[in-house]
Amino acid sequence: MPTILAIESSCDDTACAILKEGKVLANMQASQAIHAEFGGVVPELASREHMKNIWPLVTTTLKVSDIVLQDLDAIAFTRGPGLMGSLIVGVNFAKAMAIGLQKPIIEVNHMQAHVGAHYIDQPIPKFPFLCLTVSGGHTQLVQVTDYLRMEVIGQSIDDAAGEAFDKAAKLFGLPYPGGPVLNKHANNGNPIFEFAKPRVGGLDFSFSGLKTSILYYVQKQPEGFVTENLNDLCASVQKTIVDILLTKLQKAVEQTGITELAIGGGVAANSELRRRFQELGVKNNWNTFIPKFEYCTDNAAMIGIIAHHKYLGGDFADQSVGPLARYAI
Ligand code: KG4
Ligand code: ZN
């Protein structure tokens, strides 16, 4: 059973984890505060921060795990999807480290890893299960038939759910990253405002219209409206996004007959989505699964657990492997 060091650097968090026999010994990250003053991730700065953070982070993760370099059986990394300049840092660091140690490398798809977050702690969902993966870059409904066998059965045709949260927060003048801040305000408000919901066929999603709908609504109001109604506005946006997500999830259950259900990705940290997902599960007799908070937002433990299963299947990458900004599951 392997000991694996995993690196995640697809966006603005540098993350490193060590897993021994599929158990997480340490799951650490260095977040990049620098982007807040720009109201969003600046790719060039993210890349530079990864460069600065990666070695100290890997050293600390080894120390915390009480693991020395020679104990490692493989080095895993996120190959994509993500920001090219960010991915390059993690991919090349992992490849160089593996050459130095003469160890194999394992490449991991970031979106597959968000689903894989469900394999870290028991109980894990039974196959086949459906996973609604909602992050800052993606919104996907994934049908999972085995640890590494998954198929996207629905996805956003424009913005991701996390982007919708972040853009709405920005419209309300809230600091970046907007999703968690909007969530906090929503906790103290009521969803009294109505925003247009998209009409997209099948199991696909659309969120770009929501931003326009909020913008037009707010523009028509008198000065000071947003400040005075901030909590209720946040609660209304949050309810609309959660409605859209759970309506499609219900449709996916009807179409597939699968009642083993999971959510993952950064937006799965949203308290209203978690609450209503569980509530729906109880009402419809579904088995619902939500990863621990730290395994919802970007982390390297989820990269490590997918790598663990790839290791068991002998699925190693070649040193010629490069990052992919777009990388389908
Ligand atoms: O998975 P993730 O950490 O990174 C990506 O792969 O994109 O997801 C980040 C997204 C951001 O859009 C962030 O605003 C959103 O997840 N997010 C939330 C919450 N926590 C994180 N959105 C709503 N409510 C939250 N509590
Ligand atoms: Zn992610």
Number of domains, the chain? 2
The ligand 1 atom nearest the CA atom of 296: 1
Residue 329 lies in a domain: no
pTM passes above 0.85: yes
Residue 37 Cα to ligand 1 midpoint, Å, equals 18
**Do residues 113 and 303 lie in contact, with contact meaning Cβ atoms separated by under 8 Å?**
yes
Residue 9 Cα to ligand 2 midpoint, Å, equals 10
Ligand nearest to the CA of 302: 2
Ligand nearest to the CA of 266: 1
Residue 324 Cα to ligand 1 midpoint, Å, equals 21
Residue 325 lies in a domain: no
User: Which residues have C-beta under 5 Å from ligand 2, the single-atom ion?
Assistant: 135, 298
Same domain for 18 and 64?
yes
Q: What is the CATH number of the domain that holds 40?
A: 3.30.420.40
Same domain for 146 and 270?
yes
Give the domain extent around 240: 126-290
Same domain for 85 and 135?
no
pLDDT in tens, the chain (329 residues): 899 999 999 988 899 999 999 999 999 998 878 777 777 787 888 889 999 999 999 999 999 999 999 999 999 999 999 999 999 999 999 999 999 999 999 999 999 999 999 999 999 999 999 999 999 989 999 999 999 999 999 999 999 999 999 999 999 999 988 999 999 999 999 999 999 888 898 999 999 999 899 999 999 999 899 999 999 999 999 999 999 999 999 999 999 999 999 999 999 999 999 999 999 999 999 999 999 999 999 999 999 999 999 999 999 999 999 999 999 99
Same domain for 103 and 216?
no
Same domain for 278 and 207?
yes
Same domain for 241 and 262?
yes
Same domain for 138 and 58?
no
Among 172, 184, 297, 329, name the best residue to mutate to test ligand 1's pocket (greatest count of ligand atoms within 8 A of Cβ). Answer: 297
Residue 328 lies in a domain: no
Same domain for 264 and 303?
no
Pocket of ligand 1 (CB under 6 A): 11, 135-137, 162, 165-166, 177-180, 183, 265-267, 269-270, 297-298
Rg (CA), the chain: 20
Same domain for 94 and 151?
no
Same domain for 146 and 205?
yes
Q: Which long-range contacts (CB under 8 A, 24 or more apart) does 123-129 make?
A: 123/289, 124/289, 125/260, 125/261, 125/262, 125/287, 125/289, 126/260, 126/287, 127/260, 128/256, 128/258, 128/260, 129/258, 129/260, 129/261, 129/262, 129/289
Residue that has been written with the tokens 């060091």 in this structure: 5
Residue 18 Cα to ligand 2 midpoint, Å, equals 18
Same domain for 148 and 40?
no
